[in-house]
Structure 1
Amino acid sequence: MKFQKKKIVSLIAAVSMAFASSSVLAKNFKMAIGDAAGGTQWELGTTFSQLLDEKTNGQVKVDLFPNGQLGNEQDTVNNAAIGLLDFSILAINNVTPFSPTVGLLTMPYVIQSADEAKLLTQGEVGQELIDNTIRDAGVRIIGWAYSGFRVLTNSKRPVASPEDLKGLVIRVPRNEIMIASYQAWGVNPTPMAWSETFTGLQQGVVDGQDNPYITVYAMKFDEVQKYVTNIRYIFSLEPLIVSESVFQQQSPEMQANILAAGKEATEHSFTYLQDTEDKIRKDLESKGMVFTDPANGEKEWIEKVTKTVWPKFYTSIGGKEKLDETLKLLGR
C-alpha cells in the first residue's frame, strides 16, 4: 500500500511537471511596429507571427502593436535591450544610434538596387552587423523588411534638383547621416519623431519628408503631400529585432524556430516588395500625387553627398576600408 501510494505521488509529480513544461511553452510575445498596418513592417511582422505559430504548433503567439503603440522606434530598442519588450520592427536609422556600424547600410547611394540590399543584409556584411548590434545594443536582428528607396515628398512644388529644395522644410529622423545628406544639398532639415510626422505635415510645420512608396501609401501621406521626387539615396531597410536577453532565455529549439521564422519572413518581404511596388506607385498617382525624376540622372545629388557626407562617417561605420570593401563586393 505504501509502495502504491509512492507510485501515485510520483505519477502526480510527473504529470504536474509535464503540465508545467507545456505551460512554459505556451507563450505570448509582444512585437512593436513603428508603421501603420499595411506597410512592409506590418507584412514582415504578420508573416513572422504566422510562421512562429506554425513552427510551435500554435503554442507561441506574437501580438502585434502597430503605429508606435508601444513607444517611438528608438524607445523600443531601449526596451528590448533591457528585456521589457520581446520584438520590434523599425527603420534601420533608428538602430544606428545604438550600434553605429549599422550606419553602413544607410550611407547615401551605397545600395543602388533591391538585389544589392538583399546581398548585403543576407551575406557576410549583414552577419557582422548582427553581431555588432548584439554587442552594442543588446538586441539581435533576426529579419529584414525590404521597403524600397526613400523618395522625397512635399506639399509645395515639384523638385528635380537640390536647388529646388531651397525654402522647403523637410522632416528627417534623428539620424546624423540623413541630416548631413540634406545639409549637403543645401537645406537644414528638421528632425522629428515618426509618430509626429503626419501631424507635422498636415499642420504645415514641415513641408516634406522621405520614405518609400509603400510607407507613403500605408501612412496615407497622399492626403497631405502632392509631389514626389524619385531620389534613390537610401534603400529603406527595416530590421526585425529580438531582445537578446529574451532570446537567450529560450530553449535551443525555440531559438531555432525564431531564427528560422525570421529568415523565411525576410525572404517573403523581398518577394512582397517586387510584387507590390509598381502597383503602389500607380495607386498613389491615381490619388493625385505628381512624380518627378531627378535632373541629369541624379548626378548632382550623388556628387554632393558622396564627396561631403561619406568622409564624415568613415569612423562610425568601421573605417573607410569597410566602405571600400562593401563597394567592391557590390562590383563598384
Structure 2
Amino acid sequence: MTLTSWIRPFLGASAIVLMAQTVMAEEWRLGHILPPDHPGNRALEAAASEIAKRTEGRVDIKVFPAGQIGGAKEILTGMTIGTHHMAFDGAGILSQWTSELGALEAPFLAKDFAHLERLIDSDKGQDLVNKLREDHGIRALDFWYFGTRHMTNNTHPIEAVADVEGLKIRVPEVALSLEFIKALSGNPVPMAFPELYLGLQTGVVDGMENPLPTIEASKFYEVQDHLALTGHLVQFVAPLVAEDVWQRTSEEDRAVIMEVLQATGNTYNQAIVELEAELVDELAANGMQVTTPDREAFAEAVEVIFPDFEDAWGTGTYEALAAVE
C-alpha cells in the first residue's frame, strides 16, 4: 500500500572529523532489522537526509535495514565497542543490556502509545532510560510508536486463551516473550527476525506475534492464515546512538538531530496510528481470517509470570509503572 508521501528512501553517509585541517566524513552506521519498506525505515531515511542537509553534511547517517550489518544483538554490541554508531530498536532487546527496561514490555501494561509515552516520561521510566546510557553508553534520542503486537498462525483461529495451546509461536530472543507464550500454553520458538518468513513458510513455526505494519511490510499474510487481535503489547522503537559518538558532536548539530528526529517521529507516529486502522481490513482482503479475542482473559492468564521477573526488573519497578495513568 502507499504510505504517507513524506516517507521516502534516502541514503546518507555520516558525521565529521578534522584531519590535517580538512573536514572529512565519518560515517554513522545505523543498523536495524526491519525491512526496507517498513515505515520506520522510511522515516529514518527521511530524517537522515534532512539532518545531512541541515548540518551541511557534518552529520550524515547511513541507514542499513534488514539486518544488513548484523542482527539486533550484533548492532547494539557494536555500539558499545565502536563498530556501529546507531541503532533502531526497543525495550525488549535493550533489556539484555539494562534488564530493568524489560518491565516496559510487560504484556498488557500499556493501553496505547500515548499511555506508553507517559510510562517512559514518568520518574521510573526516566530512571530506566538513564541507566541504559550511564551503564552501557547507549543513548535513546526519541521514542517512536513501533505498533501494537497481535498473534498470527496457520493452524486455526484464536478466539480464546485455550486456542494458543500447543502452537509453535516464534518469539524474539527475549525471556519475557518466551514466558508470555508459555503462560498461554503455547510452545515459544526463539528465532531471528530475518529468518521468520521462511520459518513460517516451511512450518518450522506455526505462528508469530508482531504489529500490523510489520505483518504487512514483511508480507507475512502470504504465509499466515489467521490474525488474532490480541493487542498484548504496545511497543516503542527508539533511534539510538552510542554515547561517545554523541559527545564528540557539536551542541549545534545535536540540537538539529533532536529537532529533526522529534519532528519526524511525530509524523511517523501519526502515520502508524492511521496505518494500523487501515490494515485490519487490508490483511483480511489479503486472505487472513481475523478474530478479536477477549484481551482481559489473556491479561489474566499472563499475570502469573510477572513475579518471576522482579529480580531482573528491580523490586517495585513494575508496580511503579503500572500505577501511571
**Count of aligned positions:** 309
Q: 2:220 maps to what in 1?
A: 221
Greater mean deviation of Cα atoms: 281-290 or 115-124 = 115-124
- Give me the TM-score of the superposition, normalised by structure 1: 0.86
Letter of the structure 2 residue corresponding to residue 325 of structure 1: A
Aligned equivalents of 1:287 and 1:18: distance in 2? Answer: 53
* Within-5 A mapping of 1:186-197: 186-197=185-196
Aligned equivalents of 2:47 and 2:99: distance in 1? Answer: 26
CA contact (8 A) 1:147 1:238 kept: yes
Q: 1:111 maps to what in 2?
A: 110
3-state SS, counterpart of residue 109 of structure 2: coil
Does the C-alpha gap of structure 1 residues 268 and 129 become closer, same or farther in structure 2, counting only changes over 3 Å? farther
Does the C-alpha gap of structure 1 residues 261 and 18 become closer, same or farther in structure 2, counting only changes over 3 Å? same
Which structure shows the bigger proportion of residues in helix conformation? 1
Greater mean deviation of Cα atoms: 85-94 or 75-84 = 85-94
Greater mean deviation of Cα atoms: 210-219 or 228-237 = 228-237
* Within-5 A mapping of 1:171-210: 171-210=170-209
Aligned equivalents of 1:44 and 1:211: distance in 2? Answer: 19
Q: 2:23 maps to what in 1?
A: 23
Does the C-alpha gap of structure 1 residues 18 and 102 become closer, same or farther in structure 2, counting only changes over 3 Å? closer
Letter of the structure 2 residue corresponding to residue 100 of structure 1: S
3-state SS, counterpart of residue 27 of structure 2: strand
Does the C-alpha gap of structure 1 residues 250 and 51 become closer, same or farther in structure 2, counting only changes over 3 Å? same
Question: How large is the Cα RMSD of the aligned pairs?
Answer: 2.1
Q: CA deviation at 1:21?
A: 5.6
Letter of the structure 2 residue corresponding to residue 168 of structure 1: L
Aligned equivalents of 1:23 and 1:285: distance in 2? Answer: 53
Q: 1:234 maps to what in 2?
A: 233
The counterpart of 2:319, out of the listed 299, 317, 324, is: 324
Greater mean deviation of Cα atoms: 175-184 or 236-245 = 236-245
CA contact (8 A) 1:145 1:266 kept: yes
Cα deviation digits, residues 157-199 of structure 1 (max 9, x gap): 1011121112311110111111111111112311111121111
Q: CA deviation at 1:62?
A: 1.5
Greater mean deviation of Cα atoms: 162-171 or 275-284 = 275-284
CA contact (8 A) 1:41 1:90 kept: no
Cα deviation digits, residues 1-45 of structure 1 (max 9, x gap): xxxxxxxxxxxxxxxx99966614x54322112110222431441
Q: CA deviation at 1:301?
A: 0.9
Aligned equivalents of 1:289 and 1:272: distance in 2? Answer: 23
Matched, 1:82 2:81: yes
3-state SS, counterpart of residue 135 of structure 1: helix
3-state SS, counterpart of residue 143 of structure 1: coil
CA contact (8 A) 2:151 2:228 kept: yes
3-state SS, counterpart of residue 156 of structure 2: coil
CA contact (8 A) 2:221 2:286 kept: yes
3-state SS, counterpart of residue 101 of structure 1: helix
Give identity over the alignment, percent.
25
Letter of the structure 2 residue corresponding to residue 302 of structure 1: A
Q: CA deviation at 1:156?
A: 1.4
Q: CA deviation at 1:124?
A: 4.0
Q: CA deviation at 1:316?
A: 1.6
Aligned equivalents of 1:154 and 1:140: distance in 2? Answer: 36
* Within-5 A mapping of 1:1-332: 23-24=23-24, 26-294=25-293, 297-306=294-303, 308-320=304-316, 322-330=317-325
Gaps in structure 2 of 5+ consecutive residues: 1-16
CA contact (8 A) 2:150 2:230 kept: yes
Greater mean deviation of Cα atoms: 90-99 or 255-264 = 255-264
Letter of the structure 1 residue corresponding to residue 279 of structure 2: I
Cα deviation digits, residues 200-255 of structure 1 (max 9, x gap): 11111001000000000111101111100111221122121111121122222233
Q: CA deviation at 1:144?
A: 2.4
3-state SS, counterpart of residue 259 of structure 1: helix
Aligned equivalents of 2:255 and 2:125: distance in 1? Answer: 19
Aligned equivalents of 1:291 and 1:175: distance in 2? Answer: 27
Aligned equivalents of 2:311 and 2:18: distance in 1? Answer: 53
Q: Which has the larger radius of gyration?
A: 1
CA contact (8 A) 2:29 2:84 kept: yes
Which structure shows the bigger proportion of residues in strand conformation? 2
Does the C-alpha gap of structure 1 residues 121 and 55 become closer, same or farther in structure 2, counting only changes over 3 Å? farther
Letter of the structure 2 residue corresponding to residue 324 of structure 1: E
3-state SS, counterpart of residue 316 of structure 1: helix
3-state SS, counterpart of residue 158 of structure 1: coil
Aligned equivalents of 1:222 and 1:100: distance in 2? Answer: 33
Aligned equivalents of 2:237 and 2:116: distance in 1? Answer: 11
CA contact (8 A) 1:144 1:269 kept: no
Letter of the structure 1 residue corresponding to residue 311 of structure 2: T
Greater mean deviation of Cα atoms: 199-208 or 231-240 = 231-240
3-state SS, counterpart of residue 150 of structure 1: strand
Aligned equivalents of 1:328 and 1:21: distance in 2? Answer: 55
